[in-house]
């Protein structure tokens, strides 16, 4: 039995990593200063892992931005626009690829599988030369050895995953590019072997996705080549986030070990093991501690589970490991001094997870009696949590149990509602609106902070908010928008805001995880039944409505998004938790309606990212996701108009579900991908209100009225003019006041021009 870690959080318990990076970008730290700081952090993390009893300590999991970007730059995959001069990619170019520079847009960033971590998408370009510009894993291995005497286990993204997640080539080129990558990997592994490295972790998470048999054949051939070229290296092929798709093929790969996720892919992987066994000549990496959530492990149950496995397979060796890299959880919990003590004891962040692995090793090597005290403590902590009064609110459970089918449906179908709403709202053709937020200026943030630390009274704070809302109501009136918003100035974050006002959530002080680059998020913890306490958004919306004759759009975050952007309790299914959130939001929607709000938008930007990795599981997910949205939004009268918003434009494969949300109007991102979206809409006509974002809010650029007019005209080729809305791509909180006023003025001008022509 060995404890093997798959990756350690980079950001540091006090976000030292983030701070160092940002000081460098701000010019407060020079390159040698940054390198020095990064090294200190890196070594400190290795040291911690050693102290926690990790036998196979990962190296090269550390990065100055992102591990995929590291791979791409190491292979010389630097797009021409960055004008790289050859040789190892200097920090400057590396960061330019990640963040863009004056004359070159940044590389695309996208979600790492179904997590909230974003990686930089490697971009292949024709004529790119493939060569190993530097051997980062080797550098990391040597550093750990020389500085700390640690025999590290380099972590490398495997070639199959690397290429599958890259872009810029056609499917016909895949095999050829893969073959061109092989020598680079072989060189990397060869140099590692020469330096005395024996274990290497090759991450191939794509093996849990929908690959074909052909893919597996091709992949096996690569691993055969690795084995032939560098036989001394013990390769562990590591999978995570779900069960392996073609397990029977994977176990025939010439690897020294295979790592499986027994948390998020437990059923599938277990079924495969039962059916095909596990080779006696390979080590089994048993991912038994959840690397993506923050709950303490029920050690006794895990021990039982491994002992059962042991009854019918005999791998060469067992590696006890987290289900995936610990990148997705906060560093350590001892900084959380303000949490409910029951909750606190039931938590386990990265460092605690390593301790849990060590305990498992002890129990499995020397018998459970050797750590009976710790086993009891774990069981007790989880027991206390499960009997916590927050955990089970009879009123919520009862309400959910007795929901009737009609509570998931609006009273009348869309066609009828549309007529009624037209009468009620009296909007012009091509109504103009925005997505919700207006600039979050330093003053706005300061006001929230003062209120939070009680430097300001509630009255002072309310007064500030009212002034801000009033100012923006006037601006919107002057611009001539048709449906106004209050601006979301009271919200720090679209999930945290609601979490703080609903029962069942807890918030950490330091529970940060990396989202992308130096950007960290602090997901709320859903640990109890979700309960609606009192209206959360009525005050602001109602005030805004009192400032205008025009309809003000109420603004909520949807159940699926709140769920995905939180750490969720694991004793209930996501479906059940989503239903609880939906039920609470339903009451908010009703309160808004009762207070004269005629249009309510429920944002679901995370609907798509929650899609399971395997297509066969999509239906189940989409079904409950859609139902939770409908539960939240269906209680209103026919005349109340429900909007939803999503920040992406890829809809072709989930169009059906989007329709089923039965929102009266949907607004989506479109300005950067107009062509694609138009095509989608051509193929699947959308029969409800739709607003295609007519300009990109991510850029400070002010679009001209003409340009927006063209966008609208294009959209009208496929969208019914009676159903079309004019709005920006997303919220405007990151923009400056002047930019917003200019852009929106042009937008309204464009809408009026088109109206006058049709
Ligand atoms: N209503 C939110 C805003 O405008 C929507 C944010 C989002 O889609 N991520 O800021
Ligand atoms: Zn958005």
The alpha carbon of 252 is separated from its chain's Cα centroid by a whole number of angstroms, namely 33
Report how far ligand 1's centroid is from the alpha carbon of 648 (Å): 12
Evaluate the CA torsion angle 585, 588, 594, 599 in order and state its sign: negative
**pTM of the predicted model as reported, rounded to 2 decimal places:** 0.95
Instruction: Kindly report the protein residue whose alpha carbon is nearest to atom 1 of ligand 1.
Output: 436
Three-state secondary structure call for residue 121: coil
The pLDDT > 90 percentage for the chain reads 94
**CB of 494 shorter than 6 A to ligand 1:** yes
Alpha-carbon distance of 720 to 687, in angstroms, equals 8
The per-residue pLDDT for 674 is 66
- What's the rounded mean pLDDT across residues 257-285? 98
* Cα–Cα–Cα angle for 126, 129, 130, rounded to 5 degrees: 115
Taking only the tens place, the pLDDT of each residue in 574-584 is 999 999 999 99
- The answer to the question of whether 669 is labelled as a binding residue is yes
- The answer to the question of whether 456 is labelled as a binding residue is no
419: nearest Cα among 173, 723, 745, 59? 723
ipTM: 0.99
Taking only the tens place, the pLDDT of each residue in 601-614 is 999 999 998 999 99
Alpha-carbon distance of 494 to 460, in angstroms, equals 23
**CB of 553 shorter than 6 A to ligand 1:** no
- The answer to the question of whether 282 is labelled as a binding residue is no
Angular region, 630: left φ>0, alpha ψ -120 to 50, beta rest = alpha
Taking only the tens place, the pLDDT of each residue in 464-494 is 999 999 999 999 999 999 999 999 999 999 9
Whole-angstrom CA distances from 666 to 528, 690, 714 are 31, 5, 18
Terminal alpha carbon distance of the chain: 74
- pLDDT tops 90 at residue 152: yes
Please identify which residue in the block is written with the tokens 């990109």: 696
- What's the rounded mean pLDDT across residues 687-705? 92
Taking only the tens place, the pLDDT of each residue in 277-327 is 999 999 999 999 999 999 999 999 999 999 999 999 999 999 999 999 999
- pLDDT tops 70 at residue 246: yes
Helix 372-386 / helix 299-312 crossing angle, nearest 10 deg: 120
Taking only the tens place, the pLDDT of each residue in 637-662 is 999 999 999 987 788 899 999 999 99
* Cα–Cα–Cα angle for 269, 5, 113, rounded to 5 degrees: 55
**CB of 740 shorter than 6 A to ligand 1:** no
**CB of 605 shorter than 6 A to ligand 1:** yes
Taking only the tens place, the pLDDT of each residue in 66-76 is 999 999 999 99
Report how far ligand 1's centroid is from the alpha carbon of 516 (Å): 18
The per-residue pLDDT for 698 is 82
> For a substitution probing ligand 1, which of 667, 730, 732, 744 has the most ligand atoms within 8 Å of its CB?
730
The number of C-alpha atoms within 13 Å of 459 and in the hemisphere containing its C-beta is: 0
Alpha-carbon distance of 280 to 278, in angstroms, equals 6
Show the beta-strand stretches assigned E in 640-739.
641-646, 665-668, 689-693, 724-727
140: nearest Cα among 216, 64, 81? 64
The catalytic residues are: 698
Alpha-carbon distance of 490 to 475, in angstroms, equals 18
Alpha-carbon distance of 555 to 536, in angstroms, equals 10
Q: What six digits make up the tokens of 328?
A: 């997705």
Instruction: Kindly report the protein residue whose alpha carbon is nearest to atom 3 of ligand 1.
Output: 731
Residue 473: CB partners within 8 Å, gap ≥ 6?
484, 486, 544, 547, 548
**CB of 382 shorter than 6 A to ligand 1:** no
316: nearest Cα among 358, 343, 337, 285? 285
**CB of 730 shorter than 6 A to ligand 1:** yes
Report how far ligand 2's centroid is from the alpha carbon of 616 (Å): 28
The per-residue pLDDT for 675 is 74
> For a substitution probing ligand 1, which of 116, 433, 437, 552 has the most ligand atoms within 8 Å of its CB?
437
- pLDDT tops 70 at residue 569: yes
Alpha-carbon distance of 33 to 640, in angstroms, equals 58
The per-residue pLDDT for 257 is 98
- What's the rounded mean pLDDT across residues 54-68? 98
525: nearest Cα among 584, 488, 570? 570
Give the ligand at the shortest distance from the Cα of 436.
Answer: 1
* Alpha helices, DSSP H, located in 512-617: 538-546, 559-564, 574-594
Q: What six digits make up the tokens of 678?
A: 């138009």
Q: State the average pLDDT for the chain.
A: 96
- The answer to the question of whether 520 is labelled as a binding residue is yes
- pLDDT tops 80 at residue 219: yes
- pLDDT tops 90 at residue 685: no
282: nearest Cα among 311, 310, 254, 322? 254
Higher pLDDT, 754 or 109: 754
Residue 602: beta bridge partners?
556, 644
- pLDDT tops 70 at residue 341: yes
């Amino acid at each position: 039995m060995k404890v093997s870690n798959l990756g350690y959080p980079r950001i540091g318990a006090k976000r030292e990593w983030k701070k160092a990076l940002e000081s460098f970008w701000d010019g407060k730290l020079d390159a040698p200063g940054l390198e020095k700081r990064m090294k200190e952090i890196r070594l400190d993390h290795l040291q911690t892992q050693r102290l926690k009893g990790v036998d196979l300590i990962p190296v090269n999991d550390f990065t100055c931005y992102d591990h995929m970007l590291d791979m791409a730059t190491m292979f010389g995959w630097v797009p021409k626009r960055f004008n790289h001069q050859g040789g190892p990619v200097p920090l400057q170019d590396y960061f330019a690829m990640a963040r863009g520079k004056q004359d070159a847009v940044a590389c695309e960033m996208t979600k790492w599988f179904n997590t909230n971590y974003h990686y930089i998408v490697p971009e292949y370009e024709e004529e790119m030369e493939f060569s190993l510009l530097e051997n980062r894993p080797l550098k990391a291995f040597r550093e750990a050895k020389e500085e700390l005497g640690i025999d590290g286990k380099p972590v490398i993204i495997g070639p199959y995953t690397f290429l599958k997640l890259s872009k810029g080539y056609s499917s016909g080129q895949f095999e050829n590019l893969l073959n061109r990558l092989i020598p680079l990997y072989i060189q990397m592994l060869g140099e590692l072997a020469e330096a005395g490295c024996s274990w290497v972790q090759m991450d191939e998470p794509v093996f849990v996705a929908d690959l074909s048999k052909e893919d597996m054949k091709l992949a096996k051939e690569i691993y055969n080549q690795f084995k032939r070229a560098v036989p001394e290296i013990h390769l562990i092929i590591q999978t995570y986030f779900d069960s392996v798709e073609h397990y029977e093929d994977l176990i025939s790969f010439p690897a020294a070990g295979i790592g499986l996720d027994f948390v998020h892919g437990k059923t599938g992987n277990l079924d495969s093991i039962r059916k095909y066994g596990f080779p006696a000549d390979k080590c089994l990496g048993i991912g038994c501690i959840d690397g993506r959530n923050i709950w303490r492990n029920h050690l006794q149950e895990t021990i039982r589970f491994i002992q059962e496995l042991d009854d019918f397979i005999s791998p060469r060796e067992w590696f006890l490991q987290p289900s995936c890299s610990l990148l997705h959880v906060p560093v350590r919990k001892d900084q959380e001094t303000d949490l409910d003590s029951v909750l606190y004891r039931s938590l386990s962040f990265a460092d605690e997870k390593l301790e849990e692995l060590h305990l498992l090793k002890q129990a499995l090597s020397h018998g459970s009696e050797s750590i009976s005290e710790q086993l009891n403590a774990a069981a007790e902590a989880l027991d206390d949590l499960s009997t916590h009064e927050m955990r089970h609110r009879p009123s919520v459970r009862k309400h959910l149990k007795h929901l009737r089918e009609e509570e998931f449906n609006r009273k009348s179908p869309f066609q009828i509602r549309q007529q009624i709403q037209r009468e009620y709202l009296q909007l012009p053709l091509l109504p103009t609106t925005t997505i919700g937020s207006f600039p979050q200026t330093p003053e706005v943030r300061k006001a929230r902070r003062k209120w939070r630390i009680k430097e300001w009274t509630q009255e002072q704070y309310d007064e500030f908010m009212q002034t801000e809302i009033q100012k923006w109501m006037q601006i919107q009136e002057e611009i001539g928008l048709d449906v106004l918003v209050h601006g979301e100035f009271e919200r720090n974050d679209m999930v945290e805001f609601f979490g703080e006002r609903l029962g069942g959530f807890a918030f950490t002080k330091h529970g940060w995880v990396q989202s992308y680059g130096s950007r960290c998020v602090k997901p709320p913890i859903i640990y109890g039944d979700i309960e609606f306490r009192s209206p959360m958004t009525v005050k602001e919306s109602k005030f805004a409505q009192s400032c205008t004759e025009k309809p003000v759009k109420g603004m909520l975050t949807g159940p699926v998004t709140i769920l995905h952007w939180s750490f969720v309790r694991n004793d209930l299914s996501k479906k059940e938790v989503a239903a609880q959130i939906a039920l609470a939001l339903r009451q908010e929607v009703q309160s808004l309606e009762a207070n004269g709000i005629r249009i309510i938008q429920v944002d679901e930007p995370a609907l798509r990212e929650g899609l399971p990795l395997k297509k066969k599981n999509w239906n189940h997910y989409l079904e409950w996701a859609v139902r939770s949205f409908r539960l939240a939004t269906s209680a209103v009268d026919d005349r109340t108009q429900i909007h939803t918003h999503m920040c992406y434009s890829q809809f072709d494969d989930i169009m059906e579900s989007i329709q089923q949300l039965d929102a009266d109007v949907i607004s989506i991102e479109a300005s950067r991908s107009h062509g694609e979206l138009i095509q989608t809409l051509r193929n699947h006509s959308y029969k409800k209100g739709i607003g295609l974002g007519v300009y990109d809010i991510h850029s400070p650029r002010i679009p001209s009225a003409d340009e927006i007019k063209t966008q609208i005209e294009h959209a009208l080729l496929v969208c019914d003019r009676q159903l079309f809305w004019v709005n920006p791509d997303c919220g405007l909180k990151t923009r400056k006041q002047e930019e917003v006023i200019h852009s929106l003025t042009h937008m309204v001008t464009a809408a009026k021009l088109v109206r006058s022509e049709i």
